[in-house]
Amino acid sequence: MSGRDDGGGGNNSYGRKTFKRSQAHFADRITADGRDGWPVAAGRYRLVVSRACPWASRALVSRRLLGLEDALSLAVTDPVQDDRSWRFTLDPDGRDPVLGIRYLSEAYDRRERDYPGGVSVPAIVDVSSGQLVTNDYQRITLDLATEWTALHREGAPDLYPASRRDEIDAVTEDVFQDVNNGVYRAGFATGQEEYEAACTGLFRRLEKLAERLEKQRYLVGDTITEADIRLFTTLVRFDAVYHGHFKCNRWKLTENRVLWAYARDLYQTPGFGDTVDFDHIKRHYYQVHTGINPSGIVPLGPDLSGWTTPHHRAELGGRPFGDGTPPGPVPAGEEVAARGRP
């Protein structure tokens, strides 16, 4: 999710120009062998996220499930960014206490001066140099699961099992095109045909996913995988922002029996719901996208209490963490504020 004006008019431009998901410009990888010059090392890097952003939320969930909190420190930005980029106004003096910067764009500029693209989260920054390492939102979580294994907690689940990768990749590609990206194509559409095509494709895919999930607890196999993380981060935002703000309103998530139960199951699984901040989500979308919501008014709804109701998905079997165990308590200082929870 980008947060710097790249010449297109800033926050006011959302909904006024055709949406196109940009590729990650900084695609270096942090690997066990350090082949890109960035070896995995505890304490060397800082993960920068917005709790509002679904792409960043993937990294939050993965980091929690794998127990990387001590190895990879966390910086959380203000959900309401300005045209200069994501800002650290939630921290004392408006600076990230580790990186010492006010805007994430400063880490981008240290990597490449006058970089013309947007400043996006998630981003991983090298602490000692203060420069961006990667903003490759598609690759970051896969590498956390496969390259950071030496630093995983005991009992960490295998989120990208080798025997299932082809199936996971196929499912996540469909989810990315039609769901993760589909809500944005609908919400930022500048014409009726463009909107209808995106919205139709979104709900067609959701209905196919519901058919798949009616018979099995998780998307691939009988444990949580990368595929579930990628679908969850869109579903958890669906009724709060995509249904109304992005006009994805053929039905609400709560009106689909299977997907609503599936989303609640994951939400109530340690590592998922404890990373979600509905307050940040709503304030970001409704206050930043002024091209769509010029008043900046944030709606009071929806009622969030349903997220903690019984889901009965365990009746389908499955083992959330496989042979592993749930993550421990949320580290001190990383808890979601009370008003961001059901």
53 catalytic per annotation? yes
Determine the Cα–Cα distance for residues 48 and 97; give it in Å rounded to an integer. Answer: 12
Sheet containing 132-134: give its strands across.
Answer: 73-76, 45-49, 123-126, 132-134
CB 24 within 8 A of CB 138: yes
The one catalytic residue in 103, 108, 184, 286 is 184
Q: Is the peptide bond before 97 cis (omega within 30 degrees of 0)?
A: no
Determine the Cα–Cα distance for residues 324 and 328; give it in Å rounded to an integer. Answer: 12
Residue in 98, 94, 77, 95 with CA at minimum distance from that of residue 86: 77
The one catalytic residue in 53, 199, 218, 286 is 53
199 catalytic per annotation? no
Which residues are marked as active site?
53, 184
